[in-house]
Amino acid sequence: MAAAFSEVQRSLVQKPDDRALIVAAIKGMLHGADPDSGEYFTAEEFEAYRQSKRPNQESIGIEIKFRDGQYILTPFQDSPAAQAGVVFADQLYAVDGVRVKGLDASLLEKKLAGPPGTKVALTVFRESTLSVHTIQVERKTYTAAVPSFSRPSQGVGQLRVSRFDALALRKAAEALRDAWHAEPFQALILDLRGCPGGLLESTVGIAAMFLPKDAMVVRIAGAGSASNSTYLAAPAFYQRNGGTDSLAGLPLELQVMPMAVLVDSATMAGGEIVAAALQDHKRAVIVGRPTFGRASIQTVRPLPIGAIKFTSAYFFPPNGRKIQGVGVVPDRLVEDPSAPDIIRAALAALKPGLR
């Protein structure tokens, strides 16, 4: 390392800045050690990264995942990006005409952020149609979709959860309580299509709605003992800062009624935790397409100058199988999970348990 550094300083036609050279070396080291998530931030980049994670900063409503050398886009439900035509698995090629290849994720997020009312042009490659699209997305503050309840068939309820944010657990519980009090149902479809995950506590709480108390939901395994833990279907694992149990008052029938879970290739992280836990406990039939396979947990650790982001752990479902890079394989495959066929397939799976 020292020999290469000295040779570059001595031999390059244009003399490099020593600090820039060291920063580039550290960035390369993090990316080489952790290709999907490793990243080094300078102090300026770290501040930009922190800003991008604050409420209403990601004003186009999109999540970016790095896989196989490509930035993969996941638009949130009803977000400006989704409304403009961005779809899951679009591969980002350029932002406002500037290629993103080799660009740090933090700098990319900074390019996407901006004042409400302004627009950003996303050039994407869509593998499903082998086509390139440039999509104009207007930045604006929007309200994230909350869990909602519907009735696709007589005696069957459907709970749609698009993201496990801070409100998801409480809103999902409220939707189920209100629906049950209005008219009890005999079976439930949990719709996790396009769900990119979110907070671990909300994820565990959603799974706990449908599992026996203290059933295992997920195991976290990391490099150090502090990173290893098991989360159970109990308030201590999903109720942040104590307080009243968000699931109090839910009908006990939710833990035994016939159940199907809808998933697709955009279901990842927290969505995969819930689907896998319910599948492993034989609590639900999983319907749709294999999920994304994002089972890693990232840690951002500040340093005296800047910060580093890296994969600190992986999660495993109750039976211990691998999810990272593999995903959750449905019990019943559906060719097009966005079509009405998936609801028909879920209803068919539930039919034997309906009276």
pLDDT in tens, 278-301: 999 999 999 999 999 988 888 888
Residues forming CATH 3.90.226.10 domain(s) in the chain: 148-353
* Mean pLDDT value across the chain: 87
Q: Longest Cα pair distance anywhere in the chain, in angstroms?
A: 81
Name the DSSP letter for residue 187: E
Most confident of 52-61, 62-71, 103-112, 155-164: 155-164
Number of other residues whose CB lies within 10 A of the CB of residue 66: 16
Distances (CA, A) of 186 to 194, 349, 352: 26, 13, 12
C-alpha 149, offset from chain centre:
21
pLDDT at position 55: 43
- Nearest alpha carbon to residue 263 among 149, 142, 161: 161
- The CATH architecture annotation of domain 148-353 reads Alpha-Beta Complex (3.90)
Q: Which residue has the tokens 């706990």?
A: 208
Does the pTM exceed 0.75? Answer: yes
3-class secondary-structure state, position 323: coil
Residues of the chain with CATH 2.30.42.10: 18-138
In terms of DSSP bridges, do strands 90-95 and 70-75 run parallel, antiparallel, or are they unpaired?
antiparallel
In which band, very low, low, confident or very high, does the pLDDT at 355 lie, cut at 50, 70 and 90?
Answer: low
Span between the terminal Cα atoms of the chain, in Å:
71
Q: Which residues pair with 290 in a beta bridge?
A: none
Please report which residue ranges of 93-166 form alpha helices under DSSP H.
105-112
In this structure, what is the dihedral angle of CA atoms 64, 69, 70, 76, given to the nearest 10 degrees? -20
Query: No. of H helices and E strands in the chain?
Result: 10, 17
- pLDDT tens, position by position, 125-165: 998 788 999 999 998 887 777 899 999 999 999 999 998 98
pLDDT (average), residues 7-14: 73
At residue 341, does pLDDT exceed 90?
Answer: no
pLDDT tier for residue 85 given thresholds of 50, 70 and 90: very high
- Averaged pLDDT, 172-183: 95
- Other C-beta atoms closer than 10 Å to the C-beta of 167 total 15
What is the average per-residue pLDDT within 166-175?
92
Pairing of strands 90-95, 119-126: antiparallel
Count Cβ atoms within 10 A of the Cβ of residue 297 and give its class: 0-12 exposed, 13-18 middle, 19 or more buried.
Answer: middle
According to the model, what pLDDT value does residue 284 have? 96
Report how far residue 302's alpha carbon sits from residue 226's, in angstroms, rounded to the nearest whole number: 18
**Using 50, 70 and 90 to split pLDDT, how confident is the model at 20?**
confident
- The CA R_g of the chain, rounded to the nearest whole Å, is 22
Residue 1: its pLDDT value, please?
66
pLDDT at residue 100 is higher than 70: yes
Residues 6+ apart with CB under 8 A from 197: 163, 164, 203, 268, 269, 270, 271, 272, 273, 294
The topology under which CATH files domain 18-138 is Pdz3 Domain (2.30.42)
On the 0-12 / 13-18 / 19+ scale of CB atoms within 10 A, 82 is buried
Specify the higher pLDDT residue, 205 or 100. 205
Residue 339, pLDDT above cutoff 90: no
